[in-house]
Amino acid sequence: MMDNEKIVSQILNNDTSLGIEFGSTRIKAVLIGTDNMPIASGGYDWENQYQRGVWTYDLDDIHKGLKCCYQNMKLDVLEKYGISLTSVGAIGISGMMHGYMAFNQEGKLLTPFRTWRNTNTGEAATILTREFCYNIPQRFSIAHLYQSILNREEHVQELCFFTTLAGYIHWQLTGEKVLGIGEASGMFPIDIEAGDFNSQMIARFDELVNHHNYKWLLRELLPEVLKAGEKAGILTPNGAKLLDPDGELKSGIPLCPPEGDAGTGMVATNTVAPRTANVSAGTSVFAMVVLERELRHAYEEIDMVTTPAGKLVAMVHCNNCTSDLNAWVNLFGEFADNLEMNIDKDRLFGMLYRKALEGDMDCGGLLAYNYFSGEHITGMKEGRPLFVRTPESHFNLANFMRVHLFTALGALKTGMNILQKEEAVGVDLILGHGGLFKTAEVGQRVMAGAMNTPVAVMKTAGEGGAWGIALLASYLKNKGNESLDTYLRESVFCGEDIYTIRPNEKDVTGYEQFMMRYTGGLEIESAAINGLK
């Protein structure tokens, strides 16, 4: 870590980069120096609201959160280094991927922001998937637009522009209607060779809606697509006031293309090169696998997106991961509290996680489903957390914890099997990050056995997406002729401490045996959904 005198010099000379990411529960700003490590940060907590059948965030709260997280970062700079921040070298904006923000000619929001969490676009997603011969998830922005058309919503007549949350914030700061290609790939399918939205699919969409006689064509509504390192505009005087109402922040600062949280996660884990992957495992779990080639078929279980540099990525997204596991650990904690044992929660989690390593390789015949909510990969529209066993099962604490760790990755494994077994996608290394990996070795070993692939964790993986978008801002400023992959490898992660666990043959065999039970028992989960209302 640099000393304060060097950091002060870098701040005064604008040798810094600022990343701001709008997460689902927290907006975070991270300022990094010349070594690409954080030197200051600030945050703002917020929550989505369910209003009139839509998961949304209020526009005023979006603006408030932007200001507050910047002000808190600015205060952190003042307290640590004794100077007031007036400029930075470059800025990047990131947000929750997907969603729908629609505007008219005057820039007025026509309908409340519809986030990735909404699952009311099933009809549109099904039709578009069929018409495009390309999987369109319900979360994609184009699914939201087409569902609005199917619903005959009045706002579509006035539509002039639609974008994602990151694209909106960037537009407000720069006046530029652009998106990074990774974020754009969550709006509408990308033509990898062209580095732009797929023109044939755009033409097909226009044909689908032609009978409505709208005044617009789809391409006119979409933002411009840019790759990492390309100029995406500068901070305008109005944009500077949005960030810093005190008026101290100067305009003219360059911004990198805005990206989604999936893209910044790839950057923050240095998994932007083909044959690399990262898995984020917390409340939900998703894998991002950078491909060497197009998949042979379209799969409803696999979302196709890109890295911020435009390389093709297969995304396996599952709604459920550690919620049920955490609930069981909390139950054991309640038991301990009643015995007045006062066990620290981190110690309790660690003990129970490590106990799982003592269990039978296949969990002793136990079975569990961690479905707090529906899981599209296994065809479940709702969720019922479930634990079941036969009289002959080997029921003990080790197997109980092991089966709940195993089932946390069951839906993910179902999707990854498509990539690894049906499509023969090669993956040399998976970077793990998130709560599942907090207890040393346990989450890594389970993941390595489940995926039959080496799993690594980095110390910096916990820095998160705000750091990832700050790195993309740094890349804009300092890249020279380097590719994003090279820049990250040589300028950011060179010398990074990485701890890797390779798959154990017995763990791999045990997990495969568990998956046979998991797949065969899905009808039990279906029965629970139908029978338990």
HSE (side-chain half, CA atoms, 13 Å) at 226: 22
pLDDT for 144 equals 97
User: d(Cα 5, Cα 240) in Å, to the nearest integer?
Assistant: 27
Written as one letter, the residue type at 107 is G
CB 127: neighbour CB atoms within 10 A?
Answer: 16
293 torsion bin: left (phi>0), alpha (psi -120 to 50), beta (else) = beta
Q: Which three-class secondary structure state does DSSP give residue 212?
A: helix
Q: Alpha-carbon distance 249 to 255, whole Å?
A: 14
**Cα dist. 47→25, 112, 267 in Å?**
5, 15, 25
| Residue 264, strand partner residues | none
Q: What is the pLDDT of residues 212-257, one digit of tens each?
A: 999 999 999 999 999 999 999 999 999 999 999 999 999 999 999 9
Q: What fold is seen in the domain 265-319+412-501?
A: Nucleotidyltransferase; domain 5 (3.30.420)
User: Which CA distances in Å does 129 have to 135, 201, 324, 375, 531?
Assistant: 5, 11, 32, 19, 32
- Length of the chain equals 533
Residue/partner pairs of 494-500 with CB below 8 Å, 24 or more apart: 496/270, 496/458, 496/459, 496/460, 497/458, 497/459, 498/456, 498/457, 498/458, 499/444, 499/456, 499/457, 500/429, 500/454, 500/455, 500/456
Are the C-beta atoms of residues 520 and 365 closer than 8 Å to each other? no
Looking at residue 362, its pLDDT comes to 97
Half-sphere exposure of 477 (CA within 13 A, CB side): 26
Tokens of 287: 């894998």
What is residue 117's predicted lDDT score, i.e. its pLDDT?
A: 80
Closest CA to 188 of 217, 156, 145, 238: 145
Q: What pLDDT sits at residue 459?
A: 79
Domain residue extents for the chain: 265-319+412-501, 323-407+506-531
pLDDT at 126: 94
* Integer Cα distance of 228 and 224 in angstroms: 13
Which residues of the chain fall below pLDDT 50? none
The sheet carrying 455-458 orders its strands as 303-306, 312-318, 285-290, 276-281, 429-433, 455-458, 498-501
Q: What is the structure's pLDDT at 1? A: 53
Query: Strands 196-197, 190-191: parallel, antiparallel or unpaired by DSSP?
Result: antiparallel
Residue 462 is predicted with a pLDDT of 63
For residue 374, the model assigns a pLDDT of 86
For residues 8 and 30, give the distance between their C-alpha atoms in angstroms, rounded to a whole number.
16
> Residue 285's closest CA among 136, 124, 167, 405?
405
Of 124, 129, 121, residue with least CA distance to 300: 129
Q: Containing H/E element for 367?
A: strand 367-369
